[in-house]
């Protein structure tokens, strides 16, 4: 498996500082894989549960998908967006902390920075809930791009079977309601993703 992974890394021009296996099985049965580190210190980490459950072809396809995210700059983009959103959030908090209406409107009689922070963390996310489909559209586009990359550098069929296995293990539906999915899922519904991968394969 290590040879196949290293061959894929060489083929896609990805330099990493090592491939690691994480003990995920002592916490849960969920399988996962991720990148960590910056610059030349990038590391690839696989959960032992993922390696146990997936075939070599499937692991290669999952890694190719993750490499697709990296090659398309999704990780950097998300990092910058996250920093900007945090900055905007803190600016908003800076305004709200001075507004008596903010406390009264959310049922508080005393005003203090601690209460403002607590209200901000618990109540404000619900006010922005309606925006979540907008965020999801972006991350779904990224998933399709990463899947396309995976189909080019590994097997689309293996990615489909790996996905089906993960959906089965997580007991999640393959066909969620489109409206529910638009609000709650960062990834496209399984059926749409699988149809897309199959179209790339043919
Ligand atoms: Zn992805």
| Residue 156 maps to a domain | no
| Residue 95 maps to a domain | yes
Q: Quickly count: other Cβ atoms within 10 Å of residue 62's Cβ.
A: 23
Q: Which residues pair with 35 in a beta bridge?
A: 44
| Residue 101 maps to a domain | yes
pTM score, two decimals? 0.81
Q: Is the pLDDT of residue 107 over 80?
A: yes
Q: Are 187 and 143 in contact (CB under 8 A)?
A: yes
Q: Which of 147, 169, 185, 195 is catalytic?
A: 147
Active site residue 57: no
Q: What is the pLDDT of residues 14-64, one digit of tens each?
A: 877 788 898 888 887 777 788 777 777 788 888 898 888 899 999 999 999
| Residue 85 maps to a domain | yes
Q: How far is the CA of 112 from the centre of ligand 1 (A)?
A: 41
Q: Which of 58, 60, 66, 143 is catalytic?
A: 66
Mean pLDDT of 163-175: 80
> What is the DSSP-derived secondary structure letter of residue 43?
E
Q: How far is the CA of 38 from the centre of ligand 1 (A)?
A: 19
Q: What is the pLDDT of residues 110-120, one digit of tens each?
A: 999 999 999 98
| Residue 109 maps to a domain | yes
Q: How many domains does the chain have?
A: 1
Q: What is the pLDDT of residue 142?
A: 93
Alpha helix positions (H), 54-99 = 56-71, 74-96
**Residue 5 structure tokens:** 């992974």
pLDDT band at 91 (very low <50, low <70, confident <90, very high): very high
| Residue 81 maps to a domain | yes
Q: How far is the CA of 87 from the centre of ligand 1 (A)?
A: 26
The Cα 158–Cα 4 span in angstroms is 14
Q: What is the pLDDT of residue 175?
A: 80
pLDDT band at 196 (very low <50, low <70, confident <90, very high): very high
The Cα 116–Cα 103 span in angstroms is 7
| Residue 189 maps to a domain | no
**Residue 24 structure tokens:** 């995920």
Whole-number percent of the chain with pLDDT over 90? 41
Q: What is the pLDDT of residues 67-85, one digit of tens each?
A: 999 899 998 898 899 999 9
Whole-Å CA distances, 141 to 23, 100, 138? 31, 41, 5
| Residue 114 maps to a domain | yes
Q: What is the pLDDT of residue 134?
A: 84
Whole-Å CA distances, 202 to 140, 154, 186, 194, 196? 22, 14, 26, 12, 10
pLDDT band at 189 (very low <50, low <70, confident <90, very high): confident
Q: Is the pLDDT of residue 157 over 90?
A: yes
Active site residue 147: yes
Domain limits for position 79: 75-123
Q: Are 11 and 149 in contact (CB under 8 A)?
A: no
Q: What is the pLDDT of residue 165?
A: 86
Q: What is the pLDDT of residue 37?
A: 75
Mean pLDDT in the chain?
Answer: 87
**Residue 98 structure tokens:** 């001075």
Q: How far is the CA of 169 from the centre of ligand 1 (A)?
A: 17
Q: How far is the CA of 123 from the centre of ligand 1 (A)?
A: 30
């Amino acid at each position: 498996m290590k040879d196949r992974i290293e061959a894929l890394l060489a083929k896609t021009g990805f330099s990493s500082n090592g491939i690691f296996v994480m003990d995920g099985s002592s916490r849960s049965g969920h399988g996962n894989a991720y990148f960590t580190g910056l610059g030349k210190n990038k590391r690839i980490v696989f959960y032992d549960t993922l390696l146990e459950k997936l075939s070599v072809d499937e692991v290669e396809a999952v890694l190719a998908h993750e490499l697709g995210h990296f090659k398309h700059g999704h990780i950097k983009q998300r990092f910058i967006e996250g920093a900007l959103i945090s900055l905007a959030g803190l600016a908003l908090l800076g305004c709200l902390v001075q507004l008596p209406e903010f406390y009264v409107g959310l049922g508080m009689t005393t005003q203090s920075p601690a209460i403002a922070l607590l209200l901000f963390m618990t109540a404000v996310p619900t006010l922005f809930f309606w925006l979540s489909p907008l965020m999801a559209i972006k991350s779904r586009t990224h998933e399709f791009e990463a899947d396309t990359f995976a189909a080019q550098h590994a097997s689309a069929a293996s990615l489909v079977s790996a996905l089906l296995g993960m959906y089965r293990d997580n007991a999640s539906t393959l066909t969620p309601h489109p409206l529910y999915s638009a609000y709650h899922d960062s990834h496209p519904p399984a059926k749409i993703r699988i149809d897309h991968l199959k179209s790339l394969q043919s």
